[in-house]
Amino acid sequence: MTPPDSYQQRLILALRLKDVPGDRIGEIVAEVESHVAETGEDPTEAFGTPRHYAASLTDEHRPAPWWWTTISIIKPAGAGWLVAQGVLSLLLGETFAGRSGWIWVVLGLVVGIPGGVSVWRRSTRVRDPRNGSDLVPFSPGALIMLIGGPIFLVLAAFAAIRIFG
């Protein structure tokens, strides 16, 4: 028997990957939980695997074409590279490709911010329609990693330049 919480989390992920809005995801998860509570049936036996069940529900939410997915992976990588080049240029007091580091930082942000907005749009909260609680709470550890990771990298780069440069 599949633990309901495990099925729920995998179903939420599968629906997110299909770009289903958070409110609709909450409704789908509530329907699955209600069915399992009423019948005592295993969710995998009743609905199939989370991936297949999500696919059966989301014909109107087709995944983006392969080329769009590729662009959405390459853009943030390029934006991060541009920001890193700009920051390193500023820390070293040099130019990169004949331009000031600030130009590269701003260009990286211009390229990266739309991707961040896209991620933010896709990560709308998933609320349980029965009680309004958040089905996927954001943990404090995730917030620390989200904010602390880039800060650590910049500080490590600055320290490396001071030590070796």
pLDDT per residue as tens digits for the range 26-61:
889 999 999 998 998 999 998 999 998 988 886 655
Count how many residues are written for the chain. Answer: 165
What average pLDDT does the segment 101-111 reach? 89
Give me the amino acid identity at 54: A
Query: Structure pTM?
Result: 0.51
pLDDT for 123 equals 64
Greater confidence, 52 or 65? 52
Buried b (16+ CB within 10 A) or exposed e, 66-105: eeeeeeeeeebeebeebbbbbbbbbbeeeebeeeebebbb
pLDDT for 107 equals 92
What average pLDDT does the segment 71-93 reach? 86
Taking the C-alpha atoms of residue 145 and residue 157, their distance in angstroms, rounded to an integer, is 18
What average pLDDT does the segment 60-87 reach? 80
What average pLDDT does the segment 133-158 reach? 72
> Of 6-15, 64-73, 103-112, where does mean pLDDT reach its minimum?
64-73
